C-alpha cells in the first residue's frame, strides 16, 4: 500500500512539471521610438557624461542629489516594498515543495467505553514526530502564483528605480528654482538701491523748485512696490530650502548654511540625449507597467487551475504511546500517509466568476501598460519641446534685459540733465526691473527644463552611475 502511494506521488510530481494551465505570458515588443523634438538643434546625440546632473558642474547640486538618493524617505519606502515583494516571491516558490513541521502533543481524557458496557475509562496519549503536507501542483496553480509573485517583485524593483529618478529630478528642480528665486531677490535689492538714489534726486529737485510733488510720490510708490515684493520672494526661497531638506530626509532648516545664495548660470550648450530610440526600456514606469501585466496574466493561470482538482498528501512520522517514559522506544514508532483530493465540482459558477474577474483585471492592466507607453512618449516630447522653446526664449529675454538696462541709463542721464521728465525715467526703471526679473526666471526655467528632459528619458545613466551602494544593492 505504501509503495503504491509513493508511486502515485512520484508520478504526480512528474506530471506537475509538465502542465500549467492558463495563458503563457509574452511581453509586448518594445518598438524603437522616434522623437520629433530630439531633432531640434539644441540637442545632440552624444551620451551625457556620468549622471545627468553632473553636467551642470555644480558641487552643491551633486552633493544634494547624492545625499537624497541615500537618505530620501520615499526611497526607503520603495526599498521596503522591494524586500516585501521578494519575501512573497520566496514564499510562493517554497509553496511548491512539501511543508514539514515538527511537533508534539499530549492528550488526557476520561470517557465512556462501549466495549466495557459504557464504563468511563481514563486514557493518556503522547505523540512526537514530524508532520508533512504537499499539494501536488498537477495543473500549475502554485507555479503560476510564483510567476505572478516574481513579476510583482520586478514591478517593485522598477518602482524603486522610478522613485530614484523622481527624487533626483525633484532635488534638481527645487535647487534651480531656489537659485532662480535668490537671483530675483538680488535683482530686486539692487533695483532698490537705484530707486532710493532716484527718490533722493526727485526730493532734491522738488526742494529746488525744479520738480514736483507728483514726481516724489510716484518715485516713493515705485520704491514701496519693490519693497513689498521682496518678502514674497523670500517666502518662496525659504520654502524651496525646506523642500530640499525634506527630500534629503532632514529637518527643514538643516540645509540653510549649504544653500546660501550663489550664481548658477543657465545651461547654454547643446543638450546631449544619447540613444532615444530605446526610450521605453529606459523608462522605469513603463517597465513597471509591463511587469504588472505579466503578474496579471499569471494570475489568470491561477484562476484557471481552480477549475481542476487539487491533490494533496499529508503524513506523519514519529512516535505514539500511552506512556511518556517509553515514548521514543522502537516499539512506539508510527507513520501515516493520507492522500486527499478536492474539486469545485459543484461550485464551478464561483470559480468561473473568479476566472472572468482575473481576465478582466488582466485586460485592464494591459490597457494601463498601453497608457503608460503613450504617457511616456507625451512626457518626453513635451519635455524636449519645452527645453527648446525655453532656450529660444532665454536668448530673447537676455536681449530685452540688455536693452532695458541701456534705456534706463539713458533716461537717468537725461532726467538729471533736465531734458526728460520723471515719468519717462520711472517707466524705464519699471521696464528694466521687469526685464532683469524675467531674465533671472528664464535662466532658472531653462535649467528646470533640462531636469524635465532627463527625467522624461528615464534618468539617463542614473542607476548605472549614481545610485549609492545602499540603494543599488536592493536591486540585486
pLDDT at 320: 84
Beta-sheet pairing, 310-321 with 333-342: antiparallel
The chain-wide mean pLDDT, for the chain, equals: 86
Question: Using CA atoms, how far apart are residues 120 and 102, in angstroms rounded to an integer?
Answer: 33
Angle at 371 between CA 467 and CA 22, to 5 degrees: 95
Residue in 351, 347, 355 with CA at minimum distance from that of residue 300: 355
Cβ partners under 8 Å of residue 321, min gap 6? 125, 126, 327, 329, 332
pLDDT at 467: 45
Cβ-based burial of 46 (10 A; exposed 0-12, middle 13-18, buried ≥19): exposed
The pLDDT tens digits of the residues spanning 449-471 come to 999 999 999 987 665 444 444 44
Of 106-115, 182-191, 340-349, 357-366, which one has max mean pLDDT?
357-366
Across-strand partners of 133? 99, 314
Question: Using CA atoms, how far apart are residues 343 and 460, in angstroms rounded to an integer?
Answer: 52
Q: DSSP assignment, residue 47?
A: P
Residue in 165, 171, 177 with CA at minimum distance from that of residue 65: 171
Sheet holding 99-113, edge to edge: 99-113, 119-136, 310-321, 333-342
Question: Using CA atoms, how far apart are residues 302 and 169, in angstroms rounded to an integer?
Answer: 39
The pLDDT tens digits of the residues spanning 270-289 come to 899 988 888 888 899 999 99
CA distances from 92 to 96, 234, 268, 340, 362 (A): 7, 55, 53, 21, 20
Instruction: Kindly state the cell numbers that stand for 278.
Output: 530605446
Q: DSSP assignment, residue 201?
A: H
Is the alpha carbon torsion for 30, 32, 34, 38 positive or negative? positive
The pLDDT tens digits of the residues spanning 396-406 come to 999 999 998 89
Cβ-based burial of 414 (10 A; exposed 0-12, middle 13-18, buried ≥19): middle
pLDDT at 463: 54
Confidence of residue 408 (pLDDT cuts 50, 70, 90): confident
For residue 291, is pLDDT > 90?
Answer: yes
For residue 5, is pLDDT > 60?
Answer: no
Q: What is the dihedral of CA 182, 184, 186, 187, to 10 degrees?
A: 170
The pLDDT tens digits of the residues spanning 371-391 come to 999 999 999 999 999 999 999
Confidence of residue 338 (pLDDT cuts 50, 70, 90): confident
What is the phi/psi pair of residue 467, to 5°? -70, 130
pLDDT above 70 as % of the chain: 91
Cβ partners under 8 Å of residue 197, min gap 6? none
Angle at 58 between CA 54 and CA 60, to 5 degrees: 110
Bigger pLDDT: 98 vs 293: 293
Q: With left for phi above 0 and alpha for psi between -120 and 50, is residue 122 left, alpha or beta?
A: beta
Residue in 53, 37, 447 with CA at minimum distance from that of residue 268: 447
Amino acid at each position: 500500500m505504501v509503495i503504491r502511494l509513493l508511486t502515485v506521488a512520484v508520478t504526480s510530481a512528474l506530471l506537475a512539471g509538465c502542465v500549467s494551465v492558463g495563458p503563457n505570458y509574452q511581453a509586448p515588443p518594445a518598438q524603437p521610438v522616434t522623437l520629433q523634438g530630439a531633432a531640434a538643434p539644441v540637442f545632440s546625440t552624444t551620451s551625457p557624461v556620468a549622471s545627468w546632473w553632473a553636467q551642470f558642474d555644480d558641487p552643491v547640486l551633486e552633493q544634494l542629489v547624492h545625499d537624497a538618493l541615500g537618505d530620501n524617505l520615499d526611497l526607503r519606502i520603495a526599498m521596503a516594498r522591494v524586500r516585501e515583494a521578494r519575501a512573497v516571491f520566496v514564499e510562493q516558490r517554497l509553496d511548491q515543495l512539501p511543508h514539514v513541521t515538527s511537533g508534539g502533543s499530549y492528550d488526557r481524557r476520561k470517557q465512556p467505553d462501549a466495549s466495557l458496557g459504557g464504563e468511563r475509562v481514563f486514557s493518556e496519549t503522547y505523540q512526537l514526530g514530524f508532520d508533512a503536507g504537499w499539494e501536488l501542483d498537477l495543473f500549475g496553480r502554485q507555479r503560476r502564483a510564483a510567476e505572478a509573485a516574481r513579476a510583482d517583485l520586478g514591478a517593485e524593483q522598477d518602482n524603486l528605480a522610478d522613485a530614484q529618478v523622481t527624487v533626483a529630478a525633484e532635488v534638481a528642480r527645487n535647487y534651480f528654482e531656489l537659485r532662480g528665486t535668490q537671483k530675483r531677490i538680488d535683482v530686486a535689492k539692487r533695483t532698490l538701491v537705484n530707486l532710493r538714489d532716484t527718490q533722493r534726486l526727485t526730493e532734491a529737485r522738488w526742494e529746488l523748485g525744479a520738480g514736483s510733488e507728483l514726481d516724489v510720490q510716484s518715485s516713493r510708490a515705485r520704491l514701496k512696490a519693490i519693497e513689498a515684493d521682496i518678502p514674497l520672494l523670500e517666502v518662496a526661497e525659504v520654502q524651496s530650502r525646506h523642500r530640499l531638506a525634506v527630500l534629503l530626509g532632514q529637518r527643514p532648516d538643516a540645509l540653510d548654511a549649504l544653500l546660501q545664495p550663489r550664481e548658477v548660470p543657465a545651461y547654454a550648450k547643446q543638450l546631449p540625449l544619447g540613444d532615444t530610440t530605446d526610450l521605453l526600456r529606459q523608462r522605469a514606469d513603463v517597465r513597471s507597467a509591463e511587469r504588472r501585466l505579466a503578474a496579471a496574466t499569471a494570475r489568470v493561470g491561477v484562476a484557471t487551475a481552480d477549475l481542476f482538482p487539487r491533490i494533496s498528501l499529508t503524513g506523519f512520522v514519529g512516535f505514539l504511546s500511552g506512556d511518556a517514559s517509553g515514548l521514543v522506544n522502537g516499539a512506539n514508532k508510527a507513520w501515516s500517509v493520507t492522500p486527499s483530493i478536492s474539486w469545485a465540482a459543484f461550485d464551478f459558477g464561483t470559480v468561473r466568476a473568479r476566472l472572468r474577474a482575473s481576465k478582466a483585471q488582466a485586460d485592464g492592466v494591459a490597457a494601463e501598460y498601453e497608457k503608460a507607453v503613450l504617457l511616456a512618449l507625451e512626457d518626453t516630447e513635451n519635455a524636449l519641446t519645452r527645453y527648446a522653446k525655453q532656450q529660444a526664449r532665454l536668448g530673447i529675454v537676455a536681449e530685452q534685459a540688455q536693452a532695458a538696462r541701456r534705456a534706463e541709463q539713458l533716461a537717468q542721464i537725461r532726467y538729471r540733465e533736465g531734458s526728460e521728465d520723471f515719468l519717462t525715467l520711472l517707466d524705464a526703471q519699471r521696464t528694466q526691473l521687469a526685464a532683469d526679473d524675467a531674465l533671472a526666471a528664464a535662466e532658472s526655467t531653462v535649467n528646470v527644463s533640462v531636469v524635465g528632459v532627463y527625467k522624461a528619458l528615464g534618468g539617463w545613466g542614473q542607476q548605472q552611475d549614481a545610485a549609492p551602494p545602499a540603494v543599488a544593492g536592493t536591486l540585486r
